[in-house]
Amino acid sequence: MLVPMARKTANDDPLAPVTLAVGQEDLLLDRAVQEVVAAARAADADTDVRDLTSDQLQPGTLAELTSPSLFAERKVVVVRNAHDLSADTIKDVKAYLGAPAEEITLVLLHAGGAKGKGLLDAARKAGAREVACPKMTKPADRLAFVRGEFRTLGRSATPEACQALVEAIGSDLRELASAAAQLVADVEGTIDEAVVGRYYTGRAEASSFTVADRAVEGRAAEALEALRWSLATGVAPVLITSALAQGVRAIGKLSSARGGRPADLARELGMPPWKIDRVRQQMRGWTPDGVAVALRAVAEADAGVKGGGDDPEYALEKAVVTIARAARSRGRA
């Protein structure tokens, strides 16, 4: 079962003459292709699929692939990295867009940048069905992706479970999709945070967000243990400083916000309501001065892991200890 793609055009027929998949997220690009192929083979089990890279589509090749067949067979022609096509081949594709062949679906995969923009514009002008496949760089995007996976698989997962899965697995969408499918296959009923923890505890312990959570809670020893585990299992130091920064900033935002219901604060601060509850628990020992100290520690660590210091691991350990102490600053005031 496929996850619905974001921002499709009004023409949402997978068997439209031309589908344009735009973006750089490999999993979504592959799913855009799979959706077209599945629809074509549902209409004709003998559909011929030709999957080509840009260098394999030479001038004249498209004409050969789309020429009338004696048996009028259905065909899907996939062109990957269409932004890298040669100028002469782009002329061929543009000409084809003006008069696409019957029983043939052309799928163009394009990165969406300035390179090859003429082809992108031509396909849109010709009314191609478009599927957006953007790179998911923000945690919120990956969280929405995981929620969508569970919905598509017909199962319910709590917000905390979705967040825990993102924190445990990381940014690779293929791994996130695989993990969601595994949980759905193995677990009955609603999938909660405890279930995710049981399945992915080793990875959760190694996640940058676990380091940050333990640090802002003032649990220095556990934060250092999680940090060392993270580094030993290959988590990039820059991801850890990013998670530390997010954790401290969340404390600062919530401590300076006016009181209110989690839903109201969520809208004001741009956090999900369940995270408001978590941060409220974490912020009990914090003071404004403590937040300022912690933010400086994060900035110093960030500079250290990006080349400003000789030992990134030491820079992170120092930041974690400083943040954990700052988390208990109210008790020492």
Counts of helices then strands in the chain (DSSP H, E):
16, 5
Q: Give the Cα separation of 275 and 160 in Å (integer).
A: 8
User: How is residue 14 written in tokens?
Assistant: 């997978």
What pLDDT score does 128 carry?
Answer: 95
What pLDDT score does 261 carry?
Answer: 65
Q: Give the Cα separation of 302 and 146 in Å (integer).
A: 29
Which helix or strand (DSSP H or E) is residue 76 part of?
A: strand 75-79
Residues 6+ apart with CB under 8 A from 310: none
Domain boundaries, the chain: 18-133, 139-200, 216-327
| Percentage of the chain exceeding pLDDT 70 | 86
What pLDDT score does 14 carry?
Answer: 93
Smallest CA-to-CA distance from 243 within 261, 222, 223 is with 223
Handedness of CA 52, 56, 62, 65 (dihedral sign): negative
Smallest CA-to-CA distance from 161 within 85, 257, 274 is with 274
Could you give the C-alpha distances from 38 to 21, 45, 106, 174, in angstroms and in order?
16, 9, 14, 19
Query: 45-57: string of b/e by CB count within 10 Å (b at 16+)?
Result: eebebeebebeeb
Would strands 75-79 and 48-52 be described as parallel, antiparallel, or unpaired?
parallel
- What does CATH list as the number for 139-200? 1.10.8
Domain 18-133, classified CATH 1.20.1440.120, yes or no:
no
Smallest CA-to-CA distance from 255 within 241, 269, 245, 240 is with 269
Helix, strand, coil percentages in the chain from 3-state DSSP, rounded to 5? 60, 10, 30
User: SS in 3 state form for 15-73?
Assistant: CCCEEEEEECCHHHHHHHHHHHHHHHHHHCCCCEEEEECHHHCCCCHHHHHCCCCCCCC
Which helix or strand (DSSP H or E) is residue 132 part of?
A: strand 129-133
Question: How many Cα atoms sit within 13 Å of 251 on the Cβ side?
Answer: 31
Per DSSP, what are the bridge partners of residue 52? 79
Could you read off the pLDDT tens digit of each residue along the chain, which spans 333 residues? 333 344 444 468 999 999 999 999 989 999 999 999 999 999 999 899 999 999 999 999 999 998 876 566 789 999 999 999 999 999 999 999 999 988 899 999 999 989 999 999 999 999 999 999 998 888 888 899 999 999 999 999 999 899 888 877 777 888 889 889 988 988 889 999 888 877 776 554 446 788 898 999 999 998 998 888 778 767 778 888 988 998 899 888 888 776 666 666 766 776 666 677 778 888 888 999 999 999 999 999 998 888 766 788 999 999 999 999 998 876 554
Question: How many Cα atoms sit within 13 Å of 32 on the Cβ side?
Answer: 34
Q: Give the Cα separation of 85 and 56 in Å (integer).
A: 9
Q: Give the Cα separation of 119 and 81 in Å (integer).
A: 12
- What does CATH list as the number for 216-327? 1.20.272.10
**Prediction pTM value:** 0.60
What pLDDT score does 272 carry?
Answer: 66
Question: Mean pLDDT over all residues of the chain?
Answer: 85
Smallest CA-to-CA distance from 72 within 40, 105, 104 is with 104
Q: Which residue shows structure tokens 């990039």?
A: 236
**139-200 with 216-327: one CATH topology?**
no
